[in-house]
Structure 1
Amino acid sequence: MTNIIVQMAIAYVSVWFIAITLESPKRTLPFVSLTGALGWGVYLIGLFYMSKVTATLFAGLFIAWLSHLLARKLKTPVTVYFIPGFIPLVPGMGVYQVVYAFIRNDYVTAQASLVETLQISGAIALAIFFVDSVFGVLERIRAAKEREARLKGK
């Protein structure tokens, strides 16, 4: 448990500096960092119960959901939270392993690493797409209810 907390603290600081590099608004830095750190925590806990790909999917769903909530609460674009928040989940080591295995002519390892890396990347994309879709549908429902209420008021 201590290891998870230490890793989450490191993720918090890392995402903070990434957000600064990406020129996120200063008032959002604590929230952006919290999004990345909590997402990393969900991923680490998920690894106890599921594969890397599935843990990434659940962490991605959490990060995307929290990003949408914070964006609405703080009236900022969702991408302010998405891009830095997902950085800890990006499979950089997997890409490195693919290239290194190709250089060593170890094509079996390269192929296995490539497949896993693509699955992890796909899980991140799927999480973003799913949560964006849900929030889009909820927004349309809210707008339709407002239009209906206006029409009844006339």
Structure 2
Amino acid sequence: MVYIEQFIMSFIPSLCFGIILNAPRRILIPCGLIGGCAWIVTYATMQAGTNVAIATFLGTLMINFLCVYFSRRQRVPAIILSIPGIVPLVPGGPAYTAVRYAVESRYIESFEQILIVIYVSGAIAVGFMVGNMVESKFTHYLSRNRLTRTKQP
């Protein structure tokens, strides 16, 4: 039940962010699905006791793979799907807390929150890079195998 609630509460912001970015109507549901699935992977990984950066990395990989799938299926650029899908993973809460602690002159706590923001942002960036590399190698492998199969009689 908790996972359904978490999915819905991350599906809606991803869908709404797709509306704000004027994404085509036919890809609004995939935008929400990508955000919801990515958050479920991140949430389940954190519930298993993993570091938030590693959980975010795995969620970003999920975003990347789902974006490639839906972009080929819907014939749209993957970036249109990945931007709304990443909304649930962005570390807005720790960033707000860091600023609040800095205003309250609690600099050590503020620095801790800033480090969390940096770790999570880095995990998002690395997740997209690794996902793109894996997708590129996989696509190259598939296209190479198709060529060798067609050459043989």
TM-score (norm 2): 0.90
Q: How far apart, CA to CA, are the structure 1 residues paired with 2:88 and 2:57?
A: 13
RMSD: 1.7
Q: How does 1:3-18 map to 2 (within 5 A)?
A: 3-18=2-17
Number of paired residues? Answer: 151
Unaligned runs of 5+ in 2: none
Unaligned runs of 5+ in 1: none
In the alignment, what sits opposite 1:43? 42
Q: How does 1:73-112 map to 2 (within 5 A)?
A: 73-112=73-112
Q: How does 1:1-154 map to 2 (within 5 A)?
A: 2-49=1-48, 50-145=50-145, 152=151
Q: How far apart, CA to CA, are the structure 1 residues paired with 2:43 and 2:124?
A: 15
Counterpart of 1:117 in 2: which secondary structure?
Answer: helix
Q: How far apart, CA to CA, are the structure 2 residues paired with 1:36 and 1:129?
A: 18
1:13-65 deviations in Å (ceiling 9; x for gaps): 22111101011111111111111011111111111111211111111111111
TM-score (norm 1): 0.89
Q: How far apart, CA to CA, are the structure 2 residues paired with 1:13 and 1:103?
A: 32
Q: How far apart, CA to CA, are the structure 2 residues paired with 1:149 and 1:65?
A: 26
